[in-house]
Structure formats: C-alpha cells, structure tokens
Amino acid sequence: MPADTGFDYVRAADTAHALTLLDTPGAKPIAGGTDLVTLLRSGVDRTPLLVDLAALRGQAVRVEPRPPLGGPGIVLDALARMADVAADGWVRATYPVIAQALELSASPQVRNLGTVAGNLAQRTRCPYFRAEAPTPCAKRSPGSGCAARRGVQRGTAVFTADPDCVATHPSDLAVALAALDAEVLVESRAGERTIPVTEFYRPDAETVLRQGDLVTAVAVPPVAAGSRSAYLKVRERASFEFALVSCAAEVVLDGCVIRSARLAVGGVAGHPWRLTEAESALVGLELGAPAVRSAIDTAFAAADPLPGAVFKVELAARAAVRALRAAGSHR
C-alpha cells in the first residue's frame, strides 16, 4: 500500500450528527467510497476524518408535485445509488437522459456503490492530478504548475476559465442534470441552500462546497408535456470509459420543428457546459435541417482549447447535433 496516512472514521447516526462531525477541519463525507477510497490510498486526499453517510440513505427517487411549475418533478436522494436511480421507472419514462447518462457511467459494480452526491462531487480524472509519482499539478500542490499543459491534452477543457487548471469534470450525471436545470440541495450547520447544477462547480472542476457542507438531495424540475431527452457519450472504447465529450439533450417538438431545446456538453470545461446561445438559435428550426449545426456552432465561438484538445470542439459540436436528433426521435 503506497504512502497514505491513517484517518479516523465515524458513522453518522443522522443528518444533525453528520453536520456536527463535518465541522471538524478537514473532515469529509464518504458515501459509496468509489472515488474517495482510491484518492486516499494514493495519498492524493489526506482527510483526517471520514464521516460515513450510509445511515442517511432515504428513498432513492421521490416524485414530488411542484405546483408553480405544473407537473411533478423528482427529488433524488443524495445517497441514492447510481444503479437504483437508473432503474427507477419514473426516471426512465420521464427523464430518459438521466437513466442513459447513469447507465453509460462506470460499470455495474461501481454503479451499485456510487451515489448521486458522490458522483457529482467526484474529482477530476486528470492523470497528472491522480499520478502516484509527484507531478506538477496546481490542484494537488498549489504553485507547482500544470503537467497537462505540456503533456497529454485529450482530457483538458476547451473552455478554459481558470488560470492554473485546465481539468474537466468527469460526471455524466451532472451533464444530464445541467440540461434539466436541476438543483443541488445543500445543508450545513448554518442552514440550507439550493445551488443550480450549472453553478455547482468552479472553473477548475472543483465543487463550490465548503467545509461543513452536506449534499442532501438533487431536485429535478418537471419537464414540459411532450419532452424528449437523450444522452450521447463519445469515448475511447465502447463501454466502461469516461467521456471524451458527451451531450445531454432535452427537446420539445412541434411536428419536426423545435419548440424548445436544452443542451449541456461534458468533457469541455470544469463543469457541464450549457449551450445557451445555441438553445435560443434552435427554436423554430426543423430537427433535420442543416441550420441545426450552425446554431450549435454559435455556442462554441468562445472555445480556446490547448493544441491537443482542438479536435474536441468539432467532436462536441457533432455530438450535440446527434444528441439533439436522438432526443427528438426518442420516446
């Protein structure tokens, strides 16, 4: 076992207990452990205290009426296992993009352990960040530089907003949730707050969570009548691989004319990237029209990739076109 240090471990009895424990400096929640255990073992994470949240697990998916918005939305429990959310009948029928994103994530074994909150809060897969041998990485040791800038760049962002770090966030679920305007429910001893998934990450692929914060649930608003959605993942092998780029698409059609569209792209930034400009340009276009591609291109005008990631701009634009058309023909 490499040079990890010991840590203490406590099972939280309930949310209040967890919040008290999480106020300990450096304390971290552990849910499925599928990301944190590896980071602890390799010495990347050096938390002194793990707070096990297993006892806080509630019903994986709750269907909740949301009067101001019309139809019912859903609330995903923070501790819900990825496999259970993906298998949920309501999710599959109403939000296929969520079920698809989850079933295209990791492996069945990982999905049986990994949870909703743990998935959203997982760390970047940047190989230099996770390297066992010391490597320049500003995220791991501030001021040490960034090996990715002079190394393998396939995994780096094409929208780079952070001066030090060009990492991308690996969660597929986050991309689907961003397209659906979902919100993360966070509790701390100071109170509760709600953070849109699109604002849950900083440009360097870290979450905005602070010491003492606990994610308790994710709320997904209702979709409009006739909503269709799909997730497209482009990767280096057919299965069990992180995305090179991915796209979550949700669309409402009038015949074959786009009435509304929501698109989020993964693998291109430190967080899911909503194609906001494209979404308005798409309204009124026919799903199969060539103009769909030009509309989507408007959202990539600001891309500034490193040389080794230039190809991902074209790849992401094409993935967005395909995801949109897959959503439109999916029911």
Residues of this chain that interact with another protein (CB under 8 A) are: 1, 4-11, 30, 32-34, 37-38, 40-41, 48-50, 52, 54, 83, 106-110, 112-113, 238-240
Residues 44-73 that bind ligand SF4 (CB under 6 A): none
- State the DSSP H helix or E strand holding residue 282, giving kind and residue range, or none if neither: helix 276-282
Structure letter (DSSP) for residue 10 = E
| Candidate residues 12, 40, 44, 78; the one interacting with ligand FAD per rule CB under 6 A | 78
Residues 78, 15, 59, 115, Cα dihedral to 10°: 30
| Candidate residues 19, 27, 36, 166; the one interacting with ligand FAD per rule CB under 6 A | 36
| Candidate residues 128, 159, 201, 300; the one interacting with ligand SF4 per rule CB under 6 A | 128
Residues 44, 47, 50, 56, Cα dihedral to 10°: -80
Stretch that binds ligand SF4, among 25-33, 163-171, 230-238, 245-253 (CB under 6 A): 163-171
**Nearest approach, Cβ of residue 324 and another protein (Å):** 24
Q: How many residues bind ligand SF4 (CB under 6 A)?
A: 14
Contact between 110 and ligand FAD by CB under 6 A: the answer reads yes
User: Beta strand pairing status for 70-77 and 214-220?
Assistant: antiparallel
DSSP states of 145-185? -BHHHHS--TTS-SS---SS-------HHHHHHHHTT-EEE
Q: What whole-number distance in Å separates Cα of residue 7 and Cα of residue 146?
A: 28
Contact between 137 and ligand SF4 by CB under 6 A: the answer reads yes
Contact between 117 and ligand FAD by CB under 6 A: the answer reads yes
86 neighbors 103 (Cβ within 8 angstroms)? yes
| Candidate residues 50, 86, 101, 166; the one interacting with ligand SF4 per rule CB under 6 A | 166
Q: What whole-number distance in Å separates Cα of residue 281 and Cα of residue 291?
A: 9
CA distances from 206 to 55, 178, 210 (A): 26, 16, 11
Q: Is 15 helix (H, G, I), strand (E, B) or coil?
A: helix
Stretch that binds ligand SF4, among 34-42, 160-168, 284-292, 322-330 (CB under 6 A): 160-168
**Nearest approach, Cβ of residue 309 and ligand FAD (Å):** 19
**Nearest approach, Cβ of residue 128 and ligand SF4 (Å):** 4
31 neighbors 53 (Cβ within 8 angstroms)? yes
Contact between 95 and ligand SF4 by CB under 6 A: the answer reads no
Contact between 121 and ligand FAD by CB under 6 A: the answer reads yes
**Nearest approach, Cβ of residue 288 and ligand FAD (Å):** 30
